[in-house]
Structure 1
Amino acid sequence: MTQTKGKMIDDSTLNGATGIGLIALRAGQMKQVWHERHIDPGIDGTIELRDPSTGEMTDQHIFVQSKAYARFAGETQEKFHFTCDPRDLDYWLKASSPVIVVCSHPDTEEAWWAHVQSWFAEPARRASRRIDIDKATQKFDASAVEALFAIADPHAKAHTPGPVEKKETLVSNLLPVEFPPVYYTAQVPTGLRVRDVYAEQRRTKHEVRSDFFLSHGRIYTWAPIAGTALARVADTAANQTPVGELIDGGPDAQHLFVRLLNAGLQHDLRDVTRWSGDRKLLYYKATEDLSERQVRSASGRKRLAFKGYSQRKDTPTLKGYYRHAGLRWQFIEIGGAWFCELNPDYFFTSDGYKESPFADERLAKMKRIDRHRAVLGETELWAGLLRGDRAEDEENLLGATQDRLLTFDDLVTFAVDRGINDKAWKTPTGGENDADQLPFDFGEDEG
């Protein structure tokens, strides 16, 4: 006697249903509305977008097709690919609304997604019918909300873009600074200019000092004047004064204090930087043999501080110009504490010393391709130098025994629980010249 089997539901059917259930769960976690379709011609449901800042429904819909498997083709810990059925693909590409494919492992509650129309905009991809998934960047979870809005409502007509919940640490360009408790002043001859002070100092056997400025017939400096090269220009004995009198002495006195800080910074960096009076910035000196210089930044990564570039790719040893890391800065007071605000820049020379006649064009190019990571890296380069971090050859660029007038702490950071979802931003074009693609440099020898 043959036993009749009861009704059955196979594993693939359960897997498919669980995959759709996972999409519904993720939509709810995104605070969006999921509508499942019960008649499925290639679309399992829609996500109706809801403005997360107001709760208002936007009447913007994204069609969703679920693909749930225990394992996908070519799957590794980092990626996999999925080949679309040709009839499904034709149907999706004719849709009046955006279509996304959500690939999932229901048993581990992992899901990833791809936007069909943008992925298959390239003819080669359309011909292959293959979608490549990067597991790290294409997760289908709360981090995808802004990207979904960018697809369905690219001009933000139906929603108000806002910060997403994400814990991260923001790195500022502010360095806390400490300074000597006293400063020194002395009267100098009327009409004395800064270049006269340097000329007089060079006539002595003492080290030439840069930690000074002139104002209304007086010289201001951080260190004692007697017994140094500056004594040659002082008409009177120096007065020692608490620096607090400048800090608390009103706007004019505080302006003098900032000038002292500026002089101290330039003095501390005198061995490795030069000052451009035209550009109003400091920049790294060229190496003696014009070889490139790498230094270790405040983050511990290596950065290029100086490098030469060829004009022609067929003659790479013939350098057409040199790029120097540059710095603009200002000292500011916040809540009773003083900080140095770092604003990295670049300086271009034709021979390591003379400014390039094409400096403006080269600077404009760097500004176009610089992105966040590049600016952060350059900021950390200067923070490391000001803190006295060691160079690539593990020798202190400022000298092992050089006394520092100013001391700096770590860059100020802020912990936040909301921010911008970086994955939602369109990736800028620029190819291999993009700053984020090059960890130690951001520019190529130009042809």
Structure 2
Amino acid sequence: MAKTVTQNQLMGEIGETAAKLRFLRMGFQFDARSRLETGIDGIAEVMIEGKPTAQMIAVQVKTTKEGRYAGETDTGFHYLLRSEDLAYWRPSNLPVIIVLYREADETFYWKEIPRGDEVPERRLTFSKRDDVLDRDAGDRIAALTVSKAGFGYYVPPLGGGEEALVNILPVKFPAEVFVSTSPYDTRQANAMLLQEDEPARFDWIIKGGAFWSFHDPRKSVCRTIVEVDQVEAIDTAHLAFHDDVNERNSFSYLLRQTLAHQVRGELSWSKDRSLFYFTARAEYTTRVFKYQASTKQTEAEVVNPVESKRVANAIAFVRHHAFVPRFVSFYDEWHLVVEPSYFFTTNGFTPHTHPDAILAGKKRLDKSASLRGQVIMWHRFLTSLEPRNDDLFAVAATDPRISFGPPPTVDLPTRVPDDVWGSNKKDDVDDDDEFDLLRRA
């Protein structure tokens, strides 16, 4: 019996060839895989002005000769992924995109495939305006290779596409650190301070019997937990840039303790979440922080009770702006890495018992403008707590403090498009959806 090639095989080859040609015209390299492939037809490599970059994207091509896609209208359509394909793509170490090619009208559309441990959406929604595979999509596809993890990440610029903001704040600390010996461990010292008549303060650390603080313990309630005659001031740089990584880690913890002292009354610390969050002023009450943004005076609702539209007179939760702090040293400088986040309570004070679902829902809505604004807001907030030279009544003006410079900017040769910066998930999540997620948690 004569050998035959099926129509499906022909269409598959036509689609892969057409997709390869499309990528080449967009300025990408495209290498087709062998016939042993089981869900990835080729690898596209980003090139900049003809120079390969070793930044790869896995591509799966789905081809149809004619006909309409599911739910197709003049503006978009849906496409249902196969479960076995998703199971194959999810652990990929490369970003994976699916390309839909229809031979009848020579149309190409593309979408990133959700990956990771979260339950992915099988149904993808395509926009005929935004998801066309052409030269205009090149930057968006290339942006999938940009890492969004690590000590700092780029917050894409607004408008021009030239300047990016980095979520790190340079730290300036006092020139001296006061050190002494202490007969107590941290738990014992905390208990002693809480028993004193003077206000307790915790901007210090005790490690192996050694006490460190930027303030002189002889002039505060901390005199009760140190050997007063052993107190001396040493150069901060000796500890901040010590050769021993354990010493630098201890210094990082001292910075965090000092920051907590400086923001007391304004921010609260969540030990479970390891983050600072804006403190509510009263139950179920909005709190607003006004500050100078990049070009104008603005304000943000940093504590916000969220009502449900489906349950009358019900507060689903209270959302607090928050950030995860990390103090890190780069060469001869220290920086505060600001990772914007949110904290959730039931009434402004009681931590919510199931915050993960609403946190995930909220972060899906955060685009580059929101992240950029939050980094700027946190810088403005931290600097707003610094005493002014003209404030004659600022008692804390004589207290040694750490201060923060503005987040640095980086000139990027190409813009990271806003719509591919965050997770490629549904954008139609609102507060009611978050409330439903809570009820199912």
TM class, shorter-length? 0.5 to 0.7
CA distance in 1, matches of 2:369, 2:402: 27
TM-score by length of 1: 0.57
Contact 2:171 2:405 in 1 (8 A): yes
Contact 2:304 2:319 in 1 (8 A): yes
Contact 2:327 2:334 in 1 (8 A): yes
Q: Does 1:240 align with 2:237?
A: no
SS in 2 for 1:419: coil
Q: Does 1:249 align with 2:242?
A: yes
Alignment of 1:83-102 (within 5 A): 95-98=104-107
Closer, same or farther: CA 443–258 of 1 in aligned 2, 3 Å: farther
Q: Does 1:296 align with 2:290?
A: yes
Q: Does 1:344 align with 2:340?
A: yes
Q: CA RMSD in A?
A: 4.2
User: Gaps (5+ residues) in structure 2?
Assistant: 1-24, 28-45, 52-101, 109-125, 147-159, 387-392, 437-441
User: How many angstroms does 1:171 deviate by?
Assistant: 0.4
Alignment of 1:9-88 (within 5 A): 53=48
CA distance in 2, matches of 1:281, 1:423: 27
CA distance in 1, matches of 2:419, 2:279: 38
Q: Does 1:321 align with 2:330?
A: no
TM-score by length of 2: 0.58
User: How many angstroms does 1:269 deviate by?
Assistant: 0.9
**What amino acid sits opposite 2:340 in the alignment?**
P
User: How many angstroms does 1:360 deviate by?
Assistant: 2.0
Contact 1:146 1:424 in 2 (8 A): no
Contact 1:184 1:222 in 2 (8 A): yes
Closer, same or farther: CA 369–244 of 1 in aligned 2, 3 Å: same
SS in 2 for 1:96: coil
Match for residue 286 of structure 1 among 276, 280, 301 = 280
User: How many angstroms does 1:321 deviate by?
Assistant: 2.0
Give the structure 2 partner of residue 204 of structure 1. Answer: 196
Give the structure 1 partner of residue 162 of structure 2. Answer: 168
Give the structure 1 partner of residue 268 of structure 2. Answer: 274
Closer, same or farther: CA 444–410 of 1 in aligned 2, 3 Å: farther
CA distance in 2, matches of 1:286, 1:214: 31
CA distance in 1, matches of 2:330, 2:272: 30
Give the structure 2 partner of residue 359 of structure 1. Answer: 355
SS in 1 for 2:414: strand
Give the structure 1 partner of residue 205 of structure 2. Answer: 213
CA distance in 2, matches of 1:270, 1:332: 22
SS in 2 for 1:368: helix
SS in 1 for 2:219: coil
**What amino acid sits opposite 1:248 in the alignment?**
F
Match for residue 193 of structure 1 among 171, 180, 186 = 186
Contact 2:162 2:413 in 1 (8 A): yes
User: How many angstroms does 1:343 deviate by?
Assistant: 0.8
Aligned length: 304
Give the structure 2 partner of residue 183 of structure 1. Answer: 177
Closer, same or farther: CA 367–148 of 1 in aligned 2, 3 Å: closer
CA distance in 1, matches of 2:249, 2:320: 30
SS in 2 for 1:261: helix
Contact 2:165 2:410 in 1 (8 A): yes
CA distance in 1, matches of 2:239, 2:384: 27
CA distance in 2, matches of 1:201, 1:310: 41
Contact 2:277 2:321 in 1 (8 A): yes
**What amino acid sits opposite 2:271 in the alignment?**
G
CA distance in 2, matches of 1:234, 1:219: 7
SS in 1 for 2:353: coil
CA distance in 1, matches of 2:279, 2:143: 48
| Greater Rg over alpha carbons, structure | 1
User: How many angstroms does 1:337 deviate by?
Assistant: 1.8
Give the percent of matched residue pairs that are identical in Structure 1 and Structure 2. Answer: 19
CA distance in 1, matches of 2:50, 2:332: 42
Contact 1:188 1:236 in 2 (8 A): no
User: Gaps (5+ residues) in structure 1?
Assistant: 1-29, 33-50, 57-92, 100-116, 120-132, 138-143, 151-155, 391-398, 434-441
SS in 1 for 2:252: helix
Closer, same or farther: CA 314–389 of 1 in aligned 2, 3 Å: same
**What amino acid sits opposite 1:294 in the alignment?**
V
Contact 2:358 2:435 in 1 (8 A): no
Give the structure 1 partner of residue 374 of structure 2. Answer: 378
**What amino acid sits opposite 1:309 in the alignment?**
V
Closer, same or farther: CA 254–148 of 1 in aligned 2, 3 Å: closer
**What amino acid sits opposite 1:272 in the alignment?**
E
**CA deviation map 1:331-369 (0-9, x unaligned):** 122242221111122211123222211212222222333
**What amino acid sits opposite 1:278 in the alignment?**
D
Closer, same or farther: CA 343–443 of 1 in aligned 2, 3 Å: farther
SS in 2 for 1:254: helix
Match for residue 418 of structure 1 among 407, 414, 421 = 414
